[in-house]
Structure 1
Amino acid sequence: MTLKPFFLLLCLLLTPGLGLAAEKTVYGLNEYVRLFDLDLKLAAKLDTGAKTASLSARDIERFKRDGETWVRFYLAIDEAHSSPIERPLARISKIKRRAGDYDPEEEKTYTARPVIEMDVCMGHALRTIEVNLTDRSAFQYPLLIGSEALKRFSALVDPSLKYAAGKPACAPDANLGE
């Protein structure tokens, strides 16, 4: 009879994933987000198959400011800003090209995209994430949130849900979390 509590304890120790799941937030396939840097609310697609986040931008150009590389761009979103946005360049991301996007004469299997950091609110969570810039105007969602950003949000994605987190509800002075 004393083996039963021992067995239960052993089972709990061998299933560490259960404790971690309690700390995660469940999001849907699509969520409303607020881009604090731009004071803009929009719908995003959560994509665990993509590594990085992507924001729809056009007329992207790099320039120098005080010896640092910056990026100037316009949002490629119908109702968004008509003035240019300038942010420091965090890095350049190499995005793998899909089969239909690959040009054998170019011999490049990737596309280089500028990456910036942005403060993004989803539900009640505010996080700084890296976002690459590319024209997503042909897609339904101007922002795609990939697995690296989803990790920062401690997200579990349930594709059967949409807008599970509700409207973004982060205070401007909210803690940016980890």
Structure 2
Amino acid sequence: MKVVLSALFASAMVLSAEGMAEQKNVFGLNEKALLTDLDLVLPAKLDTGAETASLSAQNIRIFQRGGSSWVRFQLAVDGDADKHDQVLVRPLVRISQIKRRAGDMAEGESEAYTPRPVIHMQVCMGRIRQNIEVNLTDRTSFDYPFLIGSEALKDFDAVVDPSLKFSAGAPRCA
């Protein structure tokens, strides 16, 4: 009996240590995200069903500069009018192909995917700052101007608890 109890205790200690080493950052379904290079805090929806992050933007144009592709856009978010009217220019990382929902297609349309430009942005949630890929699209018809998908959530080493909202508090990256 002593041997069995000792083995159980040792196993519990090993499992506990492994669990601590793999501890994830817990975020709520919605969080405040700081776009650090813009000094702009936006409410974000954390969506494990989406692969990439999406930022609400309008007047999106891809152009060439110095032999590289770049993207010019304006934010389409509520709040600071100066930031909304500001034209932003970022290097184009790639073009993503986002699967369209059936409700997003007009009758007769057959394209199942829509192309979106992808840029890198530095984002802070809670105390964690990451450089993530963000696709640009007009999200003005959605409740949240910023969506953080599963690839970015992996970068944040995050798990999402849908019973929580804004649990990380205001972004406070050093």
Task: Please give the TM-score of this superposition, normalised by the length of structure 1.
Answer: 0.87
**Deviation per residue, 1:7-59 (Å, 9 max, x gap):** 3434565789734552x111111111110121111111111111110000001
| CA apart distance, 1:112 | 0.7
What does residue 74 of structure 1 align with? 74
Q: What do you get for the CA RMSD once the two structures are aligned?
A: 1.9
Alignment of 1:13-162 (within 5 A): 18-22=19-23, 24-79=24-79, 80-102=83-105, 105-162=108-165
Instruction: Give 2:93's aligned amino acid.
Output: A
List alignment gaps of at least 5 residues for structure 1: 172-178
Distance 1:12 1:161, change over 3 A: same
CA distance in 2, matches of 1:51, 1:9: 39
Which contiguous aligned blocks of 4+ residues in structure 1 show a shift greater than 6 angstroms? Answer: 14-17
28-37 or 94-103, which moves further after superposition? Answer: 94-103
Distance 1:10 1:126, change over 3 A: same
Distance 1:20 1:96, change over 3 A: farther
Task: Please give the TM-score of this superposition, normalised by the length of structure 2.
Answer: 0.89
Please state if 1:7 is matched with 2:13. Answer: no
Instruction: Give 1:46's aligned amino acid.
Output: L
CA distance in 1, matches of 2:155, 2:165: 20
Aligned length: 170
Instruction: Give 1:33's aligned amino acid.
Output: A
CA distance in 2, matches of 1:89, 1:31: 26
List alignment gaps of at least 5 residues for structure 2: none
**Deviation per residue, 1:62-93 (Å, 9 max, x gap):** 00111110000001113343021000001111
Distance 1:125 1:14, change over 3 A: closer
